[in-house]
Amino acid sequence: MRLSQPLQAVVEHMAGRLQVRPEQILLLLRDTELPPGSTPLGLGLGVADIIDCVVDMAAGEPQGGGEPGAGPGPGELRLTVRGQEKDSQLTLNVPRAEPLHRLMERYQEAMGLGGHQLRFFFDGQRLAGTRTPEQLGMEPDDVIEAWA
């Protein structure tokens, strides 16, 4: 990214990768929301600054349809993936019958860990990406842990 390029480019990129609407993407620097129209140069950002990307599920339409700001759609489940690092958490609405490998991929992309080998656990059991939330008996707001 160029220093003079608006952060909106990052918002749009992340929205596409995470398959959410751009309005659902928040960029945070030390718990302060960054305006999408601002530039890294204008904000005084350097190469060592870390910007967190957060998906605000309440800000847009859930992937299964429904009213904006509504919970999971029919056949969906709201799950949270939490990593070892502070602020490495992502909450998504996922289809109950969809294999978890898709959720795992979305988490790795959102956290910038695409090249890393992560292990995912639910209730102390290592998860296989071929299993579905339905098969595992997952319930709304369950937490999956991600470990490097």
**88-125, pLDDT tens digit by residue?**
888 888 899 999 998 998 888 888 887 778 999 999 99
Which has more confidence, 43 or 86? Answer: 43
| CA–CA gap between residue 99 and residue 38 (Å, rounded) | 38
Spatial contact of 146 and 82, defined as CB atoms under 8 Å apart:
yes
Task: Report the alpha-carbon angle 53-57-60, nearest 5.
Answer: 105
| CA–CA gap between residue 120 and residue 118 (Å, rounded) | 7
What's the rounded mean pLDDT across residues 27-53? Answer: 87
Average pLDDT, the chain: 84
What's the rounded mean pLDDT across residues 59-73? Answer: 49
Per-residue pLDDT at 131 exceeds 90: yes
| CA–CA gap between residue 30 and residue 52 (Å, rounded) | 8
| pLDDT at 134 (0 to 100) | 94
What's the rounded mean pLDDT across residues 4-18? Answer: 87
Tell me if residue 14 falls in helix, strand or coil. helix
Instruction: Give the pLDDT band (50/70/90) at residue 67.
Output: very low
All domains of the chain, ordered by start, with CATH? 1-60 (3.10.20.90), 62-148 (3.10.20.90)
1-9 long-range contacts, CB within 8 A, separation 24+: 1/40, 3/39, 3/40, 3/41, 3/45, 4/39, 4/41, 5/39, 5/40, 6/36, 6/37, 6/38, 6/39, 7/34, 7/35, 7/36, 7/37, 7/38, 7/39, 7/40, 8/36, 8/37
The predicted model scores a pTM of 0.56
**Pairing verdict, β 25-29 and 32-33:** antiparallel
